[in-house]
Amino acid sequence: MGSTQIPFLDLIRPHLEMEEELVTVFRSALHTAGFIGGNAVLDFERAFAEFCEVDHCVGVGSGTDALRFALMAAGVGPGDSVLTAPNTFIATTEAISQAGALPEFIDIDEQTCNIDPDKLREYLETNCDRDAYTGRPISRRTGRVISAVVPVHLYGQPADMDRILKLADEFNLAVIEDACQAHGAAYFSQQQHTWRKAGSMGKAAAFSFYPGKNLGACGEAGAVTTNDLNLAQKIRAMRDHGQSAKYYHDMEGYNGRLDAIQAGILRTKLYRLAQWNSQRRERAETYQELLAPLDGVMLPVEPEWARGVYHLYVVRTQDRQLLQDSLKTAGIGTGIHYPIPLHLQKAYRALGYVKGDFPVTEKLASEILSLPMYPQLTRIEQENVVQAVRKCLATDRTTLFLNILQETLA
Ligand SMILES: Cc1ncc(COP(=O)(O)O)c(C=O)c1O
C-alpha cells in the first residue's frame, strides 16, 4: 500500500507555521498561572462574537457542550422532541438526548446536503397535531411536544435558514444552529436583504473548535453565539457549575468552561480565519474546475444564497469504495462524513427508524467521499488528487480491483 503523500487533513503544517505565536500563548499562561477564565477567554469571546456578527459569545469545553447548553438554555427539556437531519455527526443528537429530549429526523435536500425545508414543513403539517395553548407541534410519532429544530450547516455550507426560521416562527420552535463545521459561512437572507453569518440567525448557535475544524484549538473547545443576553447569561452559569458568583450556585450546572490556553490559541488563529476560509474557497474552485469535465463524479453545489467555507469538500460517486481504495493506493487520504446515518446507528435503535425512512440521506451516505481540503493544500497536490480520480474513473473495474489487491499484498 502506498504511503500517504497527500493527507486528508494536514494539521502539522499550519501549526508549525505558527509555532512561535502558539508557544507564546502557552508561556504567558505558565507565567501568570492563568489557566481558567480571565482575560484570554474574554478577549476571544469578544473577538469571536464580532467575527460571527452577534452580541454574545460564551466559550465552552466543546461543540457538544455548546449544543447541549444552547438547547437547555433555550428551554428544551425532558419530554420534548427536537428535529434535526440524520446525516450529521452524533454530537448533534447526543446533545439533544442529554438535554432530556428525543431526536426526530427530517430528510435532507440532495443538493445542499442540509435539512430540507419542504420536508420539514410536510412533517410539521402532516405528522403532528398542534398544542392549542402554545401552538407548538405535538409529534404523532413520539407523542412529545417539538420544542426546537437544529439545522446543521454541514460541511461548512449554510442550511436554507429563511425557510427554516419562517417555519420555526409559525410553529413556535427554537432554532439552534449547529455551526460546528461552519465558522464564517454566510447565508443571503431574502427576508432581511443581507448576508448573515452562520451562528447569527437562530436563537443560539454552537461552534466546535476541535483541532480539525476551520478554526481549531490545540485540544477541545467550543462556543455558543447568540444575540440573546438572557440566554448568554444562563449559559455562562451553566458552564461553571451554575455559579453566579464564586460558591453561589443558583442551579446545578456543569464543568464546561473554555480553558484560557485554548482561548489564547483560538484568538491567535482567529486573525487568520478569514484568509484560511478564502483559501478553502479557492481550493474548492480549483477542484470544481479540474473535476467538472470528469464523468462519474458529482461535485458539491453552492446555491446563490450560500457562501460556504468548505470545512469538507465532498464529492459523490456510484462506486465510492473503489474510488476511495484507488486514491489510497495513490497515497491520497480521504474521509466519509458520514457512512452510517444516525437513524440507522445502533445507538438509536430504540427510536424505531428503519432503512428507507430517509432515502436521500441513505443514498448520499453510500456515495459521498471527502477529498483532501485545507488552506495549505497546493495546486499541484490538487492536480494529483484529480489525476488519481480521473485514472480511477477511466480504468475498468476488474483492472482497478486487481491493481488495488496487488498494492495491498505488496
Ligand atoms: C456537525 C457537528 N456537530 C457537533 C460537533 C461536536 O463538536 P465537538 O467535537 O467539539 O464536541 C461536531 C464536531 O465534530 C460536528 O461536526
Tell me the pLDDT tens digit for each residue of 213-231: 999 999 999 999 999 999 9
Higher pLDDT, 403 or 162: 162
Distance 31 CA to ligand 1 centre (A): 32
Ligand 1 atom having least distance to the Cα of 88: 1
Q: Which of 89, 114, 215, 266 to mutate for ligand 1's pocket (most ligand atoms within 8 Å of CB)? A: 89
Output the CA–CA distances (angstroms, integers) from residue 222 to 66, 76, 138, 177, in the order listed: 6, 20, 32, 14
Q: How confident is the model at residue 397 (pLDDT cuts 50, 70, 90)?
A: confident
Q: Is a pLDDT exceeding 60 seen at residue 340?
A: yes
pLDDT tens, position by position, 242-301? 998 999 999 999 999 999 999 999 999 999 999 999 999 999 999 999 999 999 999 999
Give the model's pLDDT for residue 404. 76
Distance 66 CA to ligand 1 centre (A): 9
Contacts 24+ apart (CB under 8 A), 243-247: none
Is the preceding peptide bond at 338 cis, omega within 30 degrees of 0? yes
Q: Is a pLDDT exceeding 80 seen at residue 319?
A: yes
Give the model's pLDDT for residue 3. 56
Output the CA–CA distances (angstroms, integers) from residue 384 to 254, 372, 378, in the order listed: 47, 11, 10
Task: State how far the Cα of 26 lies from the Cα of 141, in Å rounded to an integer.
Answer: 51
Distance 394 CA to ligand 1 centre (A): 37
Distance 78 CA to ligand 1 centre (A): 22
Distance 92 CA to ligand 1 centre (A): 7
The answer, yes or no, to whether any atom of ligand 1 lies below 6 A from the CB of 313, is no
Q: Is a pLDDT exceeding 90 seen at residue 380?
A: yes
The answer, yes or no, to whether any atom of ligand 1 lies below 6 A from the CB of 151, is no
Q: Whose CA is nearest to atom 12 of ligand 1?
A: 180
Q: How many CB atoms within 10 Å of residue 62? A: 23
